[in-house]
Structure 1
Amino acid sequence: MAQLAQLTGIMHDYAKRFEAVLAHIAANLAGDLSVETLARLANFSKFHFHRQFAAYVGMPVSRYVQLMRLQVSARRLASREPYPVLDAAFDAGFDSPEAFSRAFKRVFGLSPSAFRRRPNWHAWSAHFVVPYLSRKLTMQVQIVDFSAVRVAALEHLGPPGLVNASVQKFIAWCKQSGQFPPASSRIFGIPHNNPDTTPEDEFRFDICREITEPIAPNACGVREIVIPGGRCAVVRHTGSTDHIGETIYPIYRDWLPSSAEELRDHPLFFHYVSVCLEAPPDSWQTDIYIPLV
């Protein structure tokens, strides 16, 4: 019973932190609602908050904020007060009435002018939920002490779909430089932001391989970095890395709130245990490391 009470308390505290975030959003829809600002409010790491929020609420921060702003616009339109669609668009954070009208119709099933004439809230319940957030997963979570590792890293900046092109560039550098690490060296990936919620041209991902020798100056942008050591939660993903989000989100939704663990201010990272283009993707194995305090 004592353990149950402790677990209930932990989850209650976690929920209170998110309820404070949601209350802040509701009270400051015209203000700064960036991931960095909201993460500070909840005392969460900015590197993990976007996934924690999506796992807890059921949608990304930006989508939730947009829905809340559209709801305010809908209420003002329904009140029949003088409220031009142009004002509604700018108040909701859109650059044009056309973009606002398209988004409004997707949420409410009616154009703003049609909604003003006959308000219909039935479509409001059809939130845009990230599909795999509802997936239930039996997780084998391990807590490990990860030792710091030196790696050669090439930063990919741009659409996630082009990461493979950067991987080929990295492989070419390894071969041409004569610094190709031994076959036994580990391969890592570090996503600096979430591809589900980041504009494509802002997505950053480090392609890394373990090294023991210094990196010579080069024109390819390959540099030496250190993946810091420390406590980490580790979960293995089996299958194509294209679907790794199906394993990541349940960690934040199901395991973290009841774990009493706090996340370190460092992005999660991947260790590609067995990812080989010659092997079928269903057999690939990737360990997901989530840094803990």
Structure 2
Amino acid sequence: MTLFNQDKDYIKRVNLALSFIDAHLDSNVLSLESVSEIALFSPFHFHRIFKSIVGETLNSYIGRKRLERAAAMLIHKKEFTITEIALHVGFSTNSAFTRAFKKFYNLSPSEFKNQHPYKFSKIGIVESKIGQENFMLESYFCNINNHLNWIEMNANIEVKQIPELHFASLTHIGVENIDKAFERIIKWAISKGLMQNSETRLARVFHDSFKITDANKVRMSISVLTKEPVLVEGDIHNLSTKAGKYIVGRFEITPQDFEKSWSGLFIWMHDNGYAKADSNPFEIYQNDMREHPEGKAIVDFYIPVI
């Protein structure tokens, strides 16, 4: 969804609401009244404007985000029990959480935790039953090995401390018209003289994961990396990533290889004993792929880890 086709002041205020929701998913303060107050709208007008811009009602959005956060915790936070996760994302009972989760993902939380592709163990090959289950498991580990081989051949990976980074960003939802969002942020950056700086880079920050969120609902920040926060207006907003430890993988890839690269990097993370931190992954582009002789992007992928 191309948000910059909407009223820019409305987008600015809805962005405030989205940030507030992200920060308070584990609390009981996300009523229509409280969120609309953050966005400086009356509840009546906010309900209509939020749905127009985001594509779903406030209650539907909050409910989905809570279940998706639970799914992410089931993948990355193995130390938490399902009951603890249910309470963390705002459910008062385990049974209510299980019903809602199963309705959303068609799997119970325990089934999701056990079947999700990021969960794997080489011991499982020895322990599995013979027959079809063994064949499926063998095929699954072959796929993991293919991803790891892909990473080894196509990426330079480091784990390093990254300082807080600052971006001027444009909110985009879904996978359609991403090129127009980049054109919009580039045009804005040129008008501010930012593209004349040799250190300026385009970037994309992911607020959702394609593994647990429908592609047409994934929220991204299409961004320009700046040395420090800059003066923004309208639908352009400042965004900062947290300082900390990151897995950084540099790839030289075609657009078709982005998904494989991200999947492989997350498998590498698990295979090397790292766990994802709570902040957002992001990409920083080091070239204009249109100028590459093979049409490839040179891009750094960042996964925050603990």
2:198 aligned with 1:183, yes or no?
yes
Aligned to 1:48: none
Q: Residues 36, 266 of structure 1: CA spacing in aligned structure 2 closer, same or farther, 3 A cutoff?
A: same
Partner residue of 1:261 out of 254, 258, 274: 274
Q: Mind listing any 5+ residue stretches in structure 1 that lack a counterpart?
A: 1-31, 46-60, 69-121
Number of equivalent positions: 190
Correspondence for 2:237 = 223
Q: 1:39 to 1:207 in 2, by over 3 A?
A: closer
Percentage of matched positions with identical amino acids: 16
Stretches of structure 2 lacking an aligned partner (at least 5 in a row): 1-63, 79-100, 109-131
The Cα of 1:233 is off from its aligned counterpart by 0.9
Of 164, 168, 176 in structure 2, the residue corresponding to residue 152 of structure 1 is 168
Equivalent-residue separation in structure 1 for 2:75 and 2:227 (angstroms):
39
- Give the TM-score, by structure 2 length: 0.51
> How many Å separate the matches in 2 of 1:280 and 1:269?
25
**Alignment match, 1:168:** 183
Structure 1 residue 210: Cα displacement: 2.5
CA distance in 2, matches of 1:126, 1:66: 20
Q: Which residue of 1 aligns with 2:264?
A: 250
Tell me the residue number matched to 2:246: 232
Task: Measure, in 1, the Cα distance between the counterparts of 2:73 and 2:107.
Answer: 22
C-alpha separation in 2, matches of 1:282 and 1:171: 19
User: With structure 1 as the length reference, what TM-score do the two structures score?
Assistant: 0.53
> SS of 1:37's equivalent?
helix
CA shift for structure 1 position 41: 4.5
Cα 1:41–1:265, aligned 2, differ >3 Å: closer, same or farther? same
Shift of 1:246: 1.1
Gap change, CA 1:213 and 1:259, over 3 Å in 2: closer
Q: Paired residue for 2:50?
A: none
- Contact 1:181–1:210 (CA<8 Å) still a contact in 2? no
Q: Secondary structure at the match of 2:250?
A: strand
> Aligned ranges for residues 1-293 of structure 1 at < 5 Å?
34-41=67-74, 44=77, 65-66=105-106, 134-135=146-147, 136-137=149-150, 138=152, 140-158=156-174, 160-178=175-193, 180=195, 182-195=197-210, 198-212=213-227, 214-219=229-234, 221-253=235-267, 255-293=268-306
Larger Rg: 1
Other structure's SS at 1:173 match: helix
Aligned alpha-carbon RMSD (Å)? 3.9
CA distance in 2, matches of 1:171, 1:143: 30
Cα distance in structure 2, aligned partners of 1:281 and 1:197: 32
| 1:217 to partner: Cα distance | 4.4
Contact 1:275 1:286 in 2 (8 A): no
Alignment check: 8 A CA contact 2:276 2:305 kept: yes
Amino acid at match of 2:208: N
> 1:177, CA displacement in angstroms?
4.2
Instruction: Please state whether the residue corresponding to 1:183 is helix, strand or coil.
Output: coil
